[in-house]
Structure 1
């Protein structure tokens, strides 16, 4: 039985799962640490927070900030496109280093998973009121941290310039996954299967991205390596949201 906690600090709202309570506390500490790094950098560099375009590489920035800049620059979008995935990834990385065999942090749909148990993790898909309901991805155990990041133009408060119900990215690079999900969601400007195929080309040949799924209404597109789709009893009341 996993330990579970809902944790909120300012704009960061997360669900944390771990095999022991001590790892929940470790995740919370790392989330606060990551937020402090980001807040301190923004205080000195306000443009970092508001730009929607690529940000100049700052060689003097903390490593966490550099990861965000590099992720956003991959798609010519702002570094804050990577913020939720970066924080989730840092927390799970710390949990892993401290000995967790199972650790999961869901930061508003941007999720990091470390699972060394003998069972897969089923991650439900939430695409609003669209036709994709009660389905999930069966994510196999791995020695590495798996990132699953989602962006939507129809669900949630995050900025998106597209019309995707769900743009989902799979990557072991959490900042990259988060920025890629934003870029993929932005790329879907119109409805239709052909437009989904064209949008997926934005992420299909990017190093570090394992796979992507794009959902809009009754249409769904896949590219790369994606975990198996399975039926899932998705409890929408437990989705991490404000």
Structure 2
């Protein structure tokens, strides 16, 4: 199947091609918005073939010197490079990098604000004095959009204003579309752009972990034979755990998140596991309000 384009009932654009599924909103001058949609669509039709052409390198660990050629592939590598002291491949930033690339068509004159949502990883454009409100869904196991009234209720919301150094939001966890080494239900990261947020969310979610025989893990390549994680054990099931163990896992993740925040790699992170949560710069122990 080739790329497809449609307009959702909300007026948002929907671009889809293989595993790439974008929902795009833009506000401003009508002609400028339409021109941005058309330019973004032209770019989008080439994205998947461009990535597939370099897929072996995209699945290889990030090391010294970027061997990639395409602009999205290079953005993926650059987002993951700060974490190359551990195992990471550019695929850790693919969703955010794609969103960021498409967003570039929505940053010109006449566009007040826009966002490109690639499966929950979001690239944002805000003109001066603009802002956008983002909802957080903490546990994908409870995500039942078809059973909910509109608007979909969220566990938390936050506002991103143009003055903040944040233009990307990404979420990772063991229940998500990609594999995780940890047990976080979700780790949501705010960073300078979507690719950076995507890579950091992956790293922090991997750190939300605790050794316990009740946690089910399998080699990634047995769950999906072409996984870039190879034989590394990924989480496939997490039973209810004692609060003390959940807190231990969250604290490990928070320590990683705070270190990234100190390094200037992220602006904020919210970590959730079994209805317990931590937040960078937040209280030592907090419980998610349902």
Q: Normalised by the size of structure 1, how large is the TM-score?
A: 0.78
Inter-partner Cα distance in structure 2 for 1:166 and 1:97: 33
Judge conservation of contact 1:114–1:142 (CA < 8 Å) in 2.
Answer: no
15, 18, 32: which is aligned to 1:10?
Answer: 18
1:22 and 1:37 mapped to 2: Cα distance?
23
Structure 2 unaligned residues grouped into runs of 5+: 1-9, 28-32, 144-152, 211-244, 283-290
Equivalent residue, structure 2, for 1:231: none
1:11-57 CA distances to partner (integer Å, 9 max, x unpaired)? 10011001133322333333334434322223xxx2x2434x33452
Cα distance in 1 between the residues matched to 2:137 and 2:59: 27
Are positions 1:21 and 2:30 aligned together?
A: no
| Structure 1 residues 202 and 29, CA gap change in structure 2 (3 angstroms) | farther
Instruction: Note if contact 2:76-2:93 (Cα within 8 Å) is conserved in structure 1.
Output: yes
Corresponding pairs, count: 218
Counterpart residue number, 1:37:
50
2:175 counterpart of 1:162: no
The unaligned stretches of length 5 or more in structure 1 are 226-242
2:217 paired residue number: none
Q: Contact 2:96 / 2:170 at 8 angstroms: preserved in 1?
A: yes
Cα distance in 1 between the residues matched to 2:71 and 2:183: 33
Aligned to 1:195: 249
Q: How far did 1:110 drift?
A: 0.5
1:137, distance to aligned residue in structure 2 (A): 1.5
Change (3 A) 1:202 1:31: farther
Residue 195 of structure 1 and its aligned partner are, at CA, apart by 2.2
The answer to whether the 8 A contact 1:151-1:185 is kept is yes
Instruction: Tell me the CA shift for residue 96 of structure 1.
Output: 0.3
Matched, 1:80 2:134: no
Between Structure 1 and Structure 2, whose CA radius of gyration is higher? 2
- 8 Å CA contact 2:208–2:251 kept in 1: the answer is no
Alignment partners' CA distance in 1, 2:165 and 2:25: 17
The RMSD of aligned alpha carbons is: 2.8
Using CA pairs below 8 Å that are at least 6 residues apart, which structure has the higher relative contact order? 1
The residue that corresponds to 1:92 in the other structure is 103
Q: Which residue is 1:114 aligned to?
A: 125
Q: Which range moved further: 104-113 or 137-146?
A: 137-146
Question: CA-to-partner distance for each residue in 1:114-145, whole Å, 9 max, x for gaps?
Answer: 12275532211122246994422122234876
